[in-house]
């Protein structure tokens, strides 16, 4: 030890103070009554233990995973817009048509590109950002016991289960033959509303009496001769389609599923009502609602 108080075995150029890193993981589903994912309403995530930030820190987005989010088949679904109320996000949005009263749905929020570009990505988890450590904001010392916010598409609509905020279930119809009689006729918004559905065994009597639906929609650009179609439906339409006992039904759809190989959808779009008949190679393979989920991880690094 010399008189300067400095040990010779220490590096005289700098002192390395280890930065404190905290990982914050949000697991959000649609089980709450306000359905934050499919309706776009505010979510609340209660932390199992308080998040203590004792000095000014920087927040980064590290991962972003979804299950059954919208497919990026139109401009509105090209990205997710995530709002975290506890983060002071300083993003500013501009648009060449802003002078025409275009609503700003992005400023003060996090924009995440939608990597879900295939119908085959439904009923599976999709990772939307492979790049690590995207800067989000700076955060001052605080103690957080919950995180609140919302997730929408760039048009301020639901980022899950299509564009109808009432819809919270997906029905996937698979194993369709390649001889469709009509393609779906999309309207200007890219949405096809399904007004009626009936199903039967080819050459046999219908199992359903062509019930009327209220907010069902085709949520993807299923081209003619695609082997799958995905429908977004509300609780009420789901009960109607499945003929569930909750509505006085007798589980007709479920009890005859192995025999159904003919489904007719009546859609209403820009050019009026169109009937599209879907025929199964044998029987249809139906995937019913399996829920929605968002898992996102933030990394908080102290200065």
Residue-wise pLDDT for 156-202, tens only, equals: 999 998 878 888 888 888 888 877 777 776 554 556 888 998 888 87
Q: Is residue 231 part of a domain?
A: yes
Q: Is residue 135 part of a domain?
A: yes
Give residue 6's pLDDT. Answer: 46
Q: Is residue 4 part of a domain?
A: no
Considering the domain architecture, whether residues 59 and 98 belong to the same structural domain is answered as yes
Q: Which residue has the higher pLDDT, 162 or 236?
A: 236
Q: Distance (Å, rounded) from C-alpha 260 to C-alpha 281?
A: 11
Give residue 136's pLDDT. Answer: 92
Considering the domain architecture, whether residues 174 and 211 belong to the same structural domain is answered as yes
Q: Distance (Å, rounded) from C-alpha 212 to C-alpha 233?
A: 12
Considering the domain architecture, whether residues 152 and 187 belong to the same structural domain is answered as no
The total number of structural domains in the chain stands at 2
Considering the domain architecture, whether residues 244 and 130 belong to the same structural domain is answered as no
Mean pLDDT value across residues 226-233 = 86
Considering the domain architecture, whether residues 150 and 254 belong to the same structural domain is answered as no
What is residue 207's DSSP assignment?
Answer: S
Considering the domain architecture, whether residues 157 and 40 belong to the same structural domain is answered as yes
Domain containing 86 equals 21-161+291-302
Q: Is residue 179 part of a domain?
A: yes
Q: Is residue 3 part of a domain?
A: no
Convert 14-43 to b/e letters by CB count within 10 Å (16 or more is b): eeeeeeeeeebebebebeeeebbbbbbbeb
Considering the domain architecture, whether residues 120 and 44 belong to the same structural domain is answered as yes
Q: Is residue 2 part of a domain?
A: no
Residue 4 has pLDDT above 70, yes or no: no
Choose the most confident range, by mean pLDDT, from 117-131, 207-221, 232-246, 257-271. Answer: 232-246
Residue 207 has pLDDT above 50, yes or no: yes
- Rounded to two decimals, what is the model's pTM? 0.81
Q: Is residue 116 part of a domain?
A: yes
Considering the domain architecture, whether residues 190 and 141 belong to the same structural domain is answered as no
Considering the domain architecture, whether residues 32 and 152 belong to the same structural domain is answered as yes
CATH number at 70 reads 2.60.120.1100
pLDDT in tens, 12-32: 444 445 678 999 999 999 887
Give residue 85's pLDDT. Answer: 96
Considering the domain architecture, whether residues 123 and 175 belong to the same structural domain is answered as no
Q: Distance (Å, rounded) from C-alpha 149 to C-alpha 153?
A: 14
123, exposed or middle or buried, with CB in 10 Å at 0-12, 13-18, 19+? Answer: middle
Considering the domain architecture, whether residues 182 and 147 belong to the same structural domain is answered as no
């Amino acid at each position: 030890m010399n008189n300067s108080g400095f040990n010779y075995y220490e590096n005289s150029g700098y002192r390395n103070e280890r930065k404190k890193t905290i990982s914050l993981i949000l697991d959000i589903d649609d089980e709450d009554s306000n359905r934050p994912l499919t309706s776009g309403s505010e979510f609340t995530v209660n932390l199992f233990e308080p998040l203590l930030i004792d000095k000014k820190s920087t927040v980064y987005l590290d991962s972003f995973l979804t299950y059954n989010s919208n497919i990026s088949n139109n401009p509105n679904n090209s990205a997710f817009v995530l709002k975290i109320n506890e983060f002071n996000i300083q993003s500013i949005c501009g648009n060449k048509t802003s002078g025409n009263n275009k609503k700003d749905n992005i400023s003060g929020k996090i924009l995440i590109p939608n990597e879900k570009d295939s119908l085959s990505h439904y009923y599976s988890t999709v990772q939307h950002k492979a790049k690590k450590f995207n800067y989000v904001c700076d955060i001052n010392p605080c103690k957080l016991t919950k995180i609140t916010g919302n997730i929408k598409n760039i048009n301020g609509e639901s980022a899950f289960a299509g564009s109808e905020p009432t819809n919270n279930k997906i029905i996937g119809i698979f194993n369709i033959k390649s001889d469709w009689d009509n393609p779906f006729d999309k309207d200007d918004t890219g949405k096809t509303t399904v007004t009626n559905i009936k199903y039967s065994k080819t050459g046999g009597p219908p199992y359903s009496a062509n019930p009327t639906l209220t907010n069902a929609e085709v949520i993807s650009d299923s081209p003619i001769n695609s082997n799958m179609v995905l429908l977004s439906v509300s609780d009420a339409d789901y009960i109607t389609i499945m003929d569930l006992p909750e509505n006085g039904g007798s589980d007709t759809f479920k009890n005859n599923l192995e025999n159904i190989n003919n489904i007719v959808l009546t859609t209403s779009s820009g050019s009026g009502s169109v009937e599209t008949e879907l025929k199964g190679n044998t029987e249809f393979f139906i995937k019913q609602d399996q829920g929605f989920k968002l898992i996102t991880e933030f990394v908080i690094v102290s200065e």
